Amino acid sequence: MAVTAPVLPDSEPTRRPTPGEVMGSGTRRGPSAVDRVYGFVRAIPTGVLWLIVIVWSIPTLGLFVNSFRSRDAQRGSGWWLIRPDDLTIENYDTIFGARNGLGNSLLNSAAIALPATIIPIGFAAFAAYGFAWIDFRGRKPLFIGTVALLAIPLQVALIPLLQLYVSGAKFTIPGIDKTITIIPDLDLAGTTTATWLTHIGFAMPFAIFLLHNYISGLPKDLFEAARIDGATHFTIFWRLVLPLSVPALASFAIFQFLWTWNDYLVANTMIGANVRAQPTTVLIANLAGDFGKNEHLLPAAAFVQAFIPLMVFFALQRYFVRGILAGSVKG
């Protein structure tokens, strides 16, 4: 693959089948063996494309098939050698039946993903409107600073945030050695609350960037007309911008839902060993950690974990795509 990758775009455009178009100098000489070969070669790009598609789909297909095979079948032969009497749903039974098993972790995943998706929408929409349409001093540097944080690795915030959830935040006044509690210990360590709070903070730069792209592109006349009619920023935002921005809000919500549902790093750091609060990703990673013993349950667990995002993905793909585009392509 390493070798063919840069070659494909090079070879492809020259051989693209263009119906009705006379290609190359060879064709003018009439059909010959070379031309027939050329015709075969022209079909290669389509073949290559579908070959890539198949290669890309096989791993997931294998997981899906294996999730319905018993432990012995999984260990005995490859999933492509499937026989109908291998099929069983006992893996699913086992993972859902276990105490603090997949059912519990699905609830936890929902308990993280729902607040982490819905709560930041409002904050980000306010800020995006503020950056786009309210003129205040320091707007540009503040906005650029916010968006620059898009690239900040989450790792730099994890240690202090975990400390915050474990013991609150305290500040010692210099000189007079007196400690003030700025944020009390809210006993958030190992909870889903800590996880979604963290997600909200981390999502903010991206949310503002995405919504700002959309809201700043709304027609300027709209705002001028509204202002002349005496509407305040509050009214304009509430009555005009919010209803118009629904597609962008949906894009962000889907993006954020997939991100938080699939997140492992934040959940594992904030929840760690608390099995009662573990989301699906942490559960599956732990399951994968104890080698051998429960390996036959992994396909079923991983498939259930992926099922919800895949449904969201296929149902709302256009919004997801728009979110990705808005987050990356500008101007």
CB 140 → other proteins: shortest distance, Å?
6
Pick one of 20, 22, 30, 80: the residue that binds other proteins (CB under 8 A).
Answer: 80
Task: Tell me how far apart the alpha carbons of residues 300 and 307 are, in angstroms, rounded to a whole number.
Answer: 10
Q: Is 271 in the site for other proteins (CB under 8 A)?
A: no
Binding region for other proteins (CB under 8 A) out of 55-63, 82-90, 93-101: 55-63
From CA 209, how far away is CA 324, in angstroms rounded? 12
- Least distance in Å: CB of 101 to other proteins? 14
247 forms part of the interface with other proteins (CB under 8 A):
yes
* Cα-based distances in Å from 199 to 61, 256, 279: 31, 9, 14
Residue number with CB closer to other proteins (89 or 169): 169
Q: How far does the chain reach from its first CA to its final CA, in angstroms?
A: 33
Of residues 292-331, those binding other proteins (CB under 8 A): 298-299, 301-302, 305-306, 309-310, 312-315, 317-318, 320-322, 324-326, 328-331
Choose between 89 and 235: whose C-beta lies nearer to other proteins.
235
User: Does residue number 202 form part of the binding site for other proteins (CB under 8 A)?
Assistant: yes
Give the span between the Cα atoms of 118 and 122, in whole angstroms.
Answer: 8
Size of the site for other proteins (CB under 8 A): 150
Rule CB under 8 A: is residue 189 a binding residue for other proteins? no
**DSSP class per residue in 23-89:** -TTGGGG-S-HHHHHHHHHHTHHHHHHHHHHHHHHHHHHHHHHHTTB-HHHHHHS-GGG--GGGB--
* Touching other proteins, residues 119-178 (CB under 8 A): 119-120, 122-124, 126-127, 129-131, 134-136, 139-140, 142-144, 146-162, 164, 173, 175-176, 178
Q: Return the residues of window 211-230 that contact other proteins according to CB under 8 A.
A: 213-214, 216-218, 222
Count of residues in the chain: 331
**From candidates 82, 94, 96, 107, binder to other proteins by CB under 8 A:** 107
**Cβ atoms of residues 196 and 260 within 8 Å:** yes
Binds other proteins by CB under 8 A, chosen from 29, 36, 43, 46 = 46
3 state SS of 330:
coil
